[in-house]
Every structure is written in C-alpha cells, then in structure tokens.
C-alpha cells in the first residue's frame, strides 16, 4: 500500500475533529522528481528543536536526485534521519504513536510511515516523595513519565535479568504501562496471572495507578486490606523485585504498584535496613504496637467505661468517672463524635491551601482541645484516648484507611456488646486476613502459614550477613498454591 499525504491528513483531521493541537509540516524534498513529504505532530508533545535537528533540517538539506518516492523513503530511513529512535509503522498505529509524543513522517507514495522519537512534553523533575520520607537513603522518587521511572529502576539494578514488558490499558486513554520484574526471581505463574488480569481490565480511561489496584486483587477475598502495594521510591521497588515481586509502572503517575503484597510489609521501611539491627527491631515493634493501639484503644476504652468500669484501676476510675459525669453524651456517641470531627479536620488540612493549614490547626486545637472540654461537651479522657489512637495510626500510614474503618466498627461493637464484642470482631478480622491472598500468595505469609526461617524479617530485623544468605522470595508460595 502506498500512502497519500492528502488522505492521511484528511483522516487525522476527521479523527481529531480538527483539533487545534494537530500540526502538519509539509515540505518538498530536494530532488528532480518533486517528492512530497509531511511531518505530523501533536503540539506540546514533541521537542521542536530536537525534531528540527533530527529530521527537518536533514530532510531539507539532503539531495535525493532522481529517486522515486519509494527510493527516497528508504534513503530517509537508512541515511538521512539523525534521530536514534526511528520505527516503521502502519496507518493503524499512527494515532497511538502521535498521542505518545512521536513525530510521524509520511512520504507521498511510500509504502510505510516512520515514527521519530522526539518526545518533549513538560514534566515534573525527580524529587523526594512526600509520602515516604526517610532519614537515610536516596532522595529520589518516581515522577510521571514512564521512561524516566524505568531509568530510575535500571540505574539501581544494572542487570540484563531485569525485564520491562509493555502493555496498554484503557479503551480511550490507551495508557501505557510496564510490567517490571527480575526474570530469575519472579514466578511465571504469578506473571501469567497478572497479565490475564490486566488484559481483563475493561476501563475506558486509566489516569492513575490506583485505577488498576482493584483488578489486581484476588476475587472472593477481603477488600479491607489491600493485596497490592504502592510505592513512590525506586529503592523500595528494587528491593521488592529482588524478592520476586512484580512492579506495575503506569504512565502519568508517580505511584508504582507492587504485587504480591503481604501484611508484614506494611511495617517495613527503607530506614529499617539502613539502621543498626537493634534499633530497626525496636522501631518495627513500635509500629506493631501502634497499629494495635490505633485499632483497639478507643473501642476498649468505650467497653470499659460503659460495661466494665471495674477493670479500671481505682485512681483512673475516679478521674474518668468525674470527667464523664460532666458531659451530656453517652461514651459511645462521644467517642464516635470526636473521631468523626478528627477525620473532618484531617480532610480539611489535606484539601485547603498550605497557607491556611495553620489556621485549621489553631481552630481545631482551640475549639476541640480547649473550648469543648471546658464547656463540658466532651470529656478530657475521651479526647486523650481518641487523639492517642489518631497519632498511632500515622505510624503505619499505608494502613490508615483500613485502620480508620476498623476503629469505627470496633467502637460501635464495643458500645453494643462490650469486650466480648471486641473479641468476636477481632476473631472475624483474623479469619478474614488468614483467608486473604495476593495473586494466590497468602496475605499473612510468614505468620500464617508460619515459617520460622522467614520470621527473621517480621518482628525483628536480622543482620545483613544473615539476610543476604537467604533472600525471602514469593515464588515458593506461588508454586505451592498452584500445586
């Protein structure tokens, strides 16, 4: 098939509805045959200076002599263009390459089109991620362009064993993504499951990595805790890749998905592996303790104050009774009210401009922390319990959504059934966690099923001499599940 510039231009204008950002640069090649060519681009998606140096200037300067259109096309492809990324494409691929930032060269009467890599769209530079701040370690975080994120991983894992596998999701957005894994570490079974689930994604648009998280979850398992990890740090992702995980890098978002994801990984951080063993172990135990406090403390307080006051020590019982007796609300309603007010303040602090953030903090401290207690609307002991639980929930920030929901549910159950309700609800949560899987891998791996060998990096962090001898991988769990 020989392409006509006029027909291609008409089709593109009809397809893009004469969009203002579609640009066409038509030119006549220096030859005796009057060979015509055209370069199609989308405004703002290409580097104009780079395109001129790599394609336009060489095309206008080269003397094609008496070559036909087909001969001129071959000469351009093999000898004229100075770009390093040149791909032959058909008309069916034209739109996909244009919207990805390529410039497409068409020679009138030639059998193929040429896509020239001249991407030059503006993007945010590499900076430290705000959601995963560390004391020791790299200050680099993922950014929005897909290729930049790939380079951040490749710089840290300089091995041909590292594989990037391209896929496209979204019927309208046609979002590119990369499956990233170490060929020797990743399980082929997990890879195939992941490919199948991504191909089954029927979304019209995919604008962020979070759009795909639900499609990667195992069906018929608890959705309260996520079996898909999210990270903005290249070093964290590289560490997961060496353990047999698979990363999903989505174009246009700095968050990278990691599967399979385990419960114990929520309590691990980059600083754990940079600090001394004893200190890393202490911090990790504090994280587990903070998780329990953030979930159970308000519920236990509600149950004890409403149903089991005899469990309070005498001096605490006296102070708590005096504080609660001055407030008009029942304990359960009071705890729920403060919890909801705190969540409202948190959302307000996240959404408003930074310049107004201090005003929210001051108003919250004066109205809730001072005026409400002084006016007798809420008790000081209840406020202290809810505030302690809220602070503890930030120690394990990735678990904040499930922790918040569990806290509310446990408070309501404690207000109705007391301590026995908390025990029953805790058993149900544990059963749900034990039954949950991530790509077929048990979510509570190392704890359930229990593995003594892998416990060296759960509650405690063993030294690097021991960890380096036995890298914990998920391939064994995947193969066991398949059998």
E strand or H helix at 431, and its extent? helix 419-435
> φ and ψ at 220, to 5 degrees?
60, 30
For the whole model, what pTM was predicted? 0.81
Q: Kindly state the percentage of the chain with pLDDT values over 70.
A: 91
CA atoms within 13 A on the CB side of 252: 15
All structural domains of the chain with their residue ranges: 5-117, 146-261, 284-435
For range 207-218, the mean pLDDT: 88
For range 49-71, the mean pLDDT: 86
- Nearest Cα neighbor of 468 from 452, 476, 457 is 457
CA atoms within 13 A on the CB side of 247: 32
Contacts of 258 (CB under 8 A, 6+ apart): 228, 229, 230, 231, 237, 240, 245, 246, 247, 248
Give the pLDDT confidence of 32-57 residue by residue, as tens digits. 567 888 999 998 888 888 888 888 88
DSSP code string of 393-412? HTTTGGGHHHHHHHHHHHHH
Q: Residue 92 — pLDDT band, cuts 50, 70, 90?
A: confident
Contacts of 14 (CB under 8 A, 6+ apart): none
Query: Residue 164: is its pLDDT beyond 90?
Result: yes
Please give the pLDDT value at position 319: 72
Query: Residue 348: is its pLDDT beyond 90?
Result: no
Place of tokens 């769990």: 477
Helices marked H in 255-356: 277-306, 314-325, 331-351
Give the pair of three-digit tokens for residue 157: 């894992």
For range 250-256, the mean pLDDT: 90
Query: Residue 475: is its pLDDT beyond 70?
Result: no
What ranges make up the beta strands (E) of 170-296? Answer: 175-182, 229-231, 246-250, 256-259
Instruction: Answer positive or negative: Cα dihedral of 79, 80, 85, 86.
Output: negative
């Amino acid at each position: 098939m020989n392409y006509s510039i006029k027909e291609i231009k008409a089709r593109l204008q009809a397809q893009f509805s004469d969009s203002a950002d579609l640009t066409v640069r038509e030119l006549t090649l220096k030859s005796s045959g009057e060979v015509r060519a055209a370069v199609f681009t989308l405004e703002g998606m290409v580097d104009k200076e780079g395109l001129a140096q790599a394609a336009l200037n060489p095309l206008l300067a080269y003397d094609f002599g008496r070559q036909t259109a087909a001969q001129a096309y071959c000469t351009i492809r093999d000898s004229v263009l100075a770009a390093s990324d040149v791909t032959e494409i058909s008309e069916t691929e034209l739109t996909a390459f244009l919207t990805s930032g390529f410039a497409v060269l068409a020679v009138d009467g030639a059998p193929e089109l040429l896509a020239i890599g001249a991407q030059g769209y503006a993007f945010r530079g590499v900076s430290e991620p705000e959601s995963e701040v560390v004391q020791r370690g790299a200050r680099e975080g993922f950014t929005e362009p897909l290729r930049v994120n790939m380079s951040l991983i490749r710089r840290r894992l300089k091995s041909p064993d590292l594989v990037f596998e391209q896929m496209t999701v979204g019927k309208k957005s046609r979002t590119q993504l990369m499956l990233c894994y170490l060929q020797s570490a990743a399980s082929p079974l997990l890879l195939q499951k992941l490919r199948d689930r991504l191909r089954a994604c029927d979304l019209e648009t995919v604008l962020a990595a979070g759009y795909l998280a639900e499609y990667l979850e195992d069906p018929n398992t608890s959705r309260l805790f996520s079996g898909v990890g999210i990270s903005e740090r290249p070093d964290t992702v590289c560490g997961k890749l060496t353990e047999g995980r698979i990363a999903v890098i989505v174009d246009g978002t700095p968050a990278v998905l990691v599967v399979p994801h385990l419960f114990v990984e929520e309590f691990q951080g980059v600083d754990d592996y940079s600090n001394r063993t004893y200190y890393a172990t202490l911090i990790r135990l504090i994280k587990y303790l903070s998780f329990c406090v953030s979930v159970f403390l308000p519920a236990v307080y509600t149950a004890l104050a409403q149903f089991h006051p005899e469990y309070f020590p005498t001096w605490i019982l006296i102070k708590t009774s005096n504080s609660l007796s001055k407030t008009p609300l029942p304990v359960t309603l009071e705890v729920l009210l403060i919890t909801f007010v705190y969540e409202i303040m948190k959302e307000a602090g996240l959404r408003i401009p930074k310049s107004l953030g201090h005003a929210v903090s001051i108003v919250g401290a004066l109205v809730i922390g001072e005026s409400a207690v002084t006016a007798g609307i809420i008790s000081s002991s209840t406020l202290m319990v809810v505030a302690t639980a809220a602070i503890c929930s930030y120690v394990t920030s990735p678990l904040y959504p499930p922790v918040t929901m569990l806290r509310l549910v446990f408070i309501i159950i404690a207000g109705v059934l007391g301590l026995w309700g908390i025990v029953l609800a805790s058993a149900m949560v544990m059963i749900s966690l034990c039954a949950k899987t991530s790509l077929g891998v048990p979510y509570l791996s190392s704890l359930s099923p229990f593995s003594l060998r892998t416990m060296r990096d759960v509650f405690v962090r063993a030294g690097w001499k021991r960890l380096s001898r036995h890298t914990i991988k998920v391939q064994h769990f995947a193969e066991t599940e398949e059998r």
